[in-house]
Amino acid sequence: MSAKRGTVTSPAWRVVHFGAISAFVLFAAFPFFWMVISAFKQTLDLMNPNNNPFVFNLPPTMVQVKMLFEGTEYTKWLWNTAWVGILVVIITLLLAVPLGYGLARLSGKTGERLGIMIFLTYLVPPTILFIPLSRVISYLGLTDSLWSLVVVYPSFTVPFCAWLLMGFFKVIPPDIEEAAMIDGLSRFGAFVRVVLPVSIAGLLTTIIFSFTLVTQEFVYALTFISSSSKFTVSVGVPTFLVRGDVYFWGSMMAACFIASFPIAVLYNFFVDRFIAGFTVGAVK
């Protein structure tokens, strides 16, 4: 059967569809292109307003990248960010998963209201909380320690992720748990062996959200950490690559690309499950 004019299978519509997708891909990939080309440009090429910013007007150079790794502690900042991120993800999963499951299984409106109350704590601006939290960190003796970030970050990853997982667990029928319990499993066994495998999309969403938040958070990391060797990427890069009114654009772009590219790749590998985790509770 030949394609009808104006339908989604017609050649004209396919061209429009492909063109729209290509335009979106170029738009989404442009920041990465800009970071890469800026990282390998010479300073004179970057600063000359008469040069074309989208091409190499002068031969590429590794000077900006060498300055990033040899002139700063960028490798150490990457390790600090990864270490804090992994610990925060583990703590968030250990607390948010049972909390979200318990709220989802509460009868009546109680679970929903508690979930909303917990979610509202996530909306409190960090600029209001960092002063009292700094007192808590000082009392615990964690000042200028990465453990201060490990303690503080779950205070806003857990509420949001628990609320997110609550909506996800609600769409899983309790009947499958009851059937597993009839077959001899305990409630915890049914949760681990039946509910969690079905909830992989929500768990991946929690992991990606928590880790991304750690990589981009600035206020708490700047407040609690003072030693340069303990900085995370979000604090170390602007602190050492912005000196007064001098911006080391090439090194900054290289730092941003190295820190953001793995997260972008991870997101694209699991984009379907990530979107499902955010939207599974939207339609019943």
Q: pLDDT of 12-64, one tens digit each?
A: 788 888 888 888 888 888 888 889 898 998 888 888 888 888 888 888 889 88
Residues 227, 98 within the same domain: yes
Q: State what percent of residues in the chain have pLDDT above 70.
A: 90
pLDDT for residue 3: 47
Within-domain flag for 1: no
Mean pLDDT of 231-235: 91
What's the start-to-end Cα distance of the chain, in Å? 37
DSSP code of residue 183 = T
pLDDT of 133: 86
On whether both 166 and 224 belong to a single domain, the answer is yes
Look-up: residue for tokens 């929690």?
206
186 within some domain: yes
What CA–CA distances, in Å, run from 179 to 100, 101, 174, 193, 263?
Answer: 21, 18, 9, 12, 39
pLDDT at 130 over 60: yes
- Residue 210 to residue 154: CA distance in whole angstroms: 8
- Does residue 2 lie within any of the structural domains? no
Count the domains in the chain. 2
| 132 vs 150: CA distance, rounded Å | 16
Residues 76 and 198 occupy one common structural domain: yes
What single-letter amino acid sits at 134? S
Same domain (yes/no): 103, 222: yes
Q: Are residues 127 and 32 in the same domain?
A: no
In a domain, 148, yes or no: yes
Q: Is residue 115 part of a domain?
A: yes
**The overall pTM is greater than 0.95:** no
Q: Distance between CA atoms of 262 and 224, rounded to whole angstroms?
A: 26
* 233: nearest Cα among 263, 196, 199: 263
Q: Give a yes or no: residue 93 inside a domain.
A: yes
Closest CA to 253 of 79, 25, 84, 30: 30
What is the arithmetic mean of pLDDT over 117-134? 78
Q: Are residues 51 and 71 in the same domain?
A: no
Residue 272: pLDDT band (50, 70, 90) is: low
Is residue 284 assigned to a domain?
A: no
Per-residue pLDDT reduced to its tens digit, 196-224: 888 887 888 888 888 888 888 888 888 89
The DSSP bridge partners found for residue 243 are 246
Q: Are residues 110 and 174 in the same domain?
A: yes
CATH number for the domain that contains residue 188: 1.10.3720.10
Q: Could you tell me if residue 270 is inside a domain? A: yes
How far, in Å, CA of 17 to CA of 278, rounded?
26
Which residue reads 């909390």 in tokens? Answer: 99
| Alpha carbon separation from 44 to 71, 87, 216, 226 (Å, rounded) | 20, 42, 30, 34
- Closest Cα partner for 277 from 177, 198, 211? 198
Domain that holds residue 32: 11-61
Q: Please tell me the predicted confidence (pLDDT) of residue 6.
A: 47
Alpha carbons 40 and 52: distance in angstroms, whole number: 14
Task: Based on the fold, state whether residues 36 and 112 are members of the same structural domain.
Answer: no
* pLDDT for position 89: 94
Contact 205, 96 (CB under 8 A): no
What percentage of the chain has pLDDT greater than the value 90?
Answer: 15
d(CA 97, CA 204): 12
Q: Note the residue count of the chain.
A: 284
182 vs 173: CA distance, rounded Å: 15
Do residue 31 and residue 101 come from a single domain?
no
Query: Is a pLDDT exceeding 60 seen at residue 5?
Result: no
Whether the pLDDT of residue 172 is over 70: the answer is yes
Q: What is the DSSP string of 211-273?
A: HHHHHH--HHHHHH---GGG--HHHHHHHHHEETTEE-HHHHHHHHHHHHHHHHHHHHHTHHH
Cβ neighbours of residue 69 closer than 8 Å, sequence gap 6 or more: 75
Question: 125 with 28, same domain?
Answer: no
Whether residues 163 and 23 share a domain: the answer is no
- Clarify whether residues 41 and 176 are in a common domain: no
